[in-house]
Amino acid sequence: MGITMAQAMHSFMSNSAEMCYFAADLTDGSFDITPCEFSKKLFDTDKNPISQLAVSDKIHPADLALVSAFCKDLLSGEEQSCLDEHYNIDFRINMSENAEPDWRWATMTTLIAKTEDGRHVSHTVCHIRLMNSSELLTKTIVDSFTNDKHPSVFASNVQKLLNDKSGRQLAFMQFDIEKFKLINAKYGEDKGTEILNFITNGLYTVCTDEQVHLRLSADVFMIAFLFNTAADINRLIGLIEERLGRYEDIEYRFVFGVHIVSDKTLPLRKMGDRAAMARQSIKGNALNNVGYYSDNQENKLISRKYIEDRMNYALEHGEFVMFLQPKCNISTGGIIGAEALARWIHPEKGMISPMEFIPVFEQNGFIIKLDEYIWEQACKAIRGWIDSGIEPVPISVNISRVHLTNDSFIDSLDRLVEKYNIPKKFIETEITETTENAGTEEMIKKLKARGYMLLMDDFGSGYSSLNMLKSTPFDVIKIDRDFFSEFMLSDRGKKIISHTISMSKDIGLDLVAEGVETKEQAEFLHSCGCDVAQGFYYSKPVPLSDFDKLHTT
């Protein structure tokens, strides 16, 4: 079949000096080249079969990987979801007959015939010829202006996808090479560049005309495409991995982020950003290299960047405010203390929850500054009460784990207590005891030795364990809100709460239950022997002036 087809082609076409034909019959693996001037010049032979090596030697090293990936795919005869009925690929071939190479741009057009079921490639006919001068000129212009280099072309092509009426969905996908810096370091930057060029060019063979691609930066690529089902997305990812995931003998791993566009009115930049967020979200994940965007991610990421840009300004401009949440005696309902909780009151965004900013500050270290600021506000409040003749109640302040690496925080606390000249018993300290900071026990003991009351925060939250109670320097345990509310749901859970309370009392620890929201919960705790509760049932955290009203009435 192969020979017949090649001969047929040959008889149709003139035996030009600058073109030749291949035919491959993938049903029996035969591969023939039409003997002609050009093929002889190209491959030093007009005999069939020609060796792969002879072909490879003639192709420019920078284009070789692309051509071989393409041929490998073609010859495998596997289902080619993205392969059109005909296909064009450009590469440089060496037309020199001596040692000095003469690289000339050639273009290869491939026609494929599929098996009857349309799933496999059965035959291909390839036609290689040198580009003529006008094609070369066009290529130069196109190269500088194709969608992989030119965002505006990308944008106008995406616009077509947005206007698509076929009912398919639009996705933005970004991918990059994991640990690309290591590849550069190991194989050299030139190799790194070759790999990136290979991928850039390779995207032309992987993507259809409708799959619009753009090289965003060194190793970040983006594709916008229409799809019907998740399988279409996976297929495209599979194809990219298979064809472009290896260059020569260098293997690397891609990380993909996908944003399925639900709001087509979003600016394109935003659609791309969301794909980027999805990609970032799974960086370093050994099991999964494809992340999907979800709204949550954006909220998290936006606030993180925003928070970091604004935190110093916010502290200097009094945007952080201490709120106080009462701790109440369950039997009398009277306020016997308070916890100081940070609030960020933003002039435009309103109140930002500590759940959003505390984890960020714990990571970047800013928590040290914020904590000290809140501690100072607590000391000030106590001083204020004393000065205005109000009976002070102790305020507990949160000590982030970040402080526990260095005992200088105890000096800071001492300085504040001295500065405001208040009895130490009015400043209590809350520390979340976890297995990770078990090694910081020394620090906690020092804090106690300096006269501070210690409260173990979030007891039962999963970070703490009964084991910690064995030789703990803590005075009070605060039963975690989530632990408490979850265990309250079953009789078994209630028993555990009840026993935890009696056990703690037995070993001489006091208890505060956090997150008490209902009368029933308060009554249950009381029946178990817990005397102090903190929670919305009594009061939400409030500004100092409101606390004063609660406290004095």
Considering the rule CB under 5 A, would residue 531 count as an interface residue with Mg ion?
A: no
At residue 395, the 3 state secondary structure works out as: strand
Counting other chains too, the contacts that 279-283 makes at CB distance below 8 Å and 24 or more residues apart are 279/174, 279/175, 279/176, 279/255, 281/257, 282/255, 282/257, 283/178, 283/255
Q: Which stretch binds Mg ion (CB under 5 A): 52-60, 225-233, 352-360, 391-399?
A: 391-399
Of 467-506, which residues contact ligand C2E (CB under 6 A)? 481
- Identified binder of ligand C2E from the candidate list 233, 342, 352, 454, rule CB under 6 A: 342
Provide the token pair at 5. 């087809």
**Candidate list 376, 428, 430, 514, residue with the active-site label:** 514
How many Cβ atoms are within 10 Å of 139's Cβ, its own excluded? 15
- Identified binder of Mg ion from the candidate list 25, 90, 428, 430, rule CB under 5 A: 430
Q: Are the C-beta atoms of 147 and 210 separated by less than 8 Å?
A: no
> What gap in Å lies between CA 137 and CA 113, rounded to an integer?
32
Which residue number, 194 or 514, has a Cβ lying nearer to Mg ion? 514
Considering the rule CB under 6 A, would residue 400 count as an interface residue with ligand C2E?
A: yes
Residue window 358-387: x/- pattern of binding to ligand C2E, with contact defined by CB under 6 A: x--------x---x--x-------------
Helix (H) or strand (E) holding 313: helix 295-316
Q: Where are the beta strands (DSSP E) in 144-269?
A: 169-177, 212-217, 220-227, 246-247, 250-251, 254-260
Residue window 430-449: x/- pattern of binding to ligand C2E, with contact defined by CB under 6 A: x-------------------
At residue 250, the 3 state secondary structure works out as: strand
Which residue number, 73 or 458, has a Cβ lying nearer to ligand C2E? 458
**Is 430 tagged catalytic?**
no
- Identified binder of ligand C2E from the candidate list 23, 201, 515, 547, rule CB under 6 A: 515
> What gap in Å lies between CA 443 and CA 396, rounded to an integer?
18
* CB 145 to Mg ion: min, Å: 59
Q: How many residues bind ligand C2E (CB under 6 A)?
A: 24
* CB 175 to ligand C2E: min, Å: 36
Which residue number, 138 or 518, has a Cβ lying nearer to ligand C2E? 518
Residue window 80-119: x/- pattern of binding to Mg ion, with contact defined by CB under 5 A: ----------------------------------------
- Cα–Cα distance list, 471 to 365, 403, 459 (Å): 30, 22, 15
- At a CB cut-off of 8 Å and minimum separation 6, what does 183 contact? 177, 191, 192, 195, 250, 252
Of 309-328, which residues contact ligand C2E (CB under 6 A)? 325
Peptide bond into 394 cis (omega under 30): no
Which residue number, 170 or 341, has a Cβ lying nearer to ligand C2E? 341
**DSSP 8-state symbol, 59:** B
Q: Provide the Cα torsion 301, 482, 323, 525; round to 10°.
A: 180
Considering the rule CB under 5 A, would residue 148 count as an interface residue with Mg ion?
A: no
Residue window 347-386: x/- pattern of binding to Mg ion, with contact defined by CB under 5 A: ----------------------------------------
Tell me the one-letter amino acid at 387. Answer: D
* CB 457 to Mg ion: min, Å: 4
Which residue number, 74 or 367, has a Cβ lying nearer to ligand C2E? 367
How many Cβ atoms are within 10 Å of 341's Cβ, its own excluded? 19
Of 522-541, which residues contact ligand C2E (CB under 6 A)? 534-536, 541
Q: Is the dihedral of CA 235, 240, 245, 247 positive or negative?
A: positive
Of 504-523, which residues contact Mg ion (CB under 5 A)? 514
Considering the rule CB under 5 A, would residue 458 count as an interface residue with Mg ion?
A: yes
User: Which residue in 387, 392, 388, 395 sits closest to 322, CA to CA?
Assistant: 395
Q: Are the C-beta atoms of 290 and 281 separated by less than 8 Å?
A: no
Which residue number, 104 or 448, has a Cβ lying nearer to Mg ion? 448
User: Which residue in 348, 347, 349, 329 sits closest to 338, CA to CA?
Assistant: 329
Which residue number, 394 or 541, has a Cβ lying nearer to ligand C2E? 541
Q: Name the closest residue to Mg ion (Cβ).
A: 430
> Among all residues, which ones are annotated catalytic?
514
Residues that bind Mg ion (CB under 5 A): 398, 430, 457-458, 514
Residues that bind ligand C2E (CB under 6 A): 325, 341-342, 353-355, 358, 367, 371, 374, 398, 400, 430, 457-458, 481, 514-517, 534-536, 541
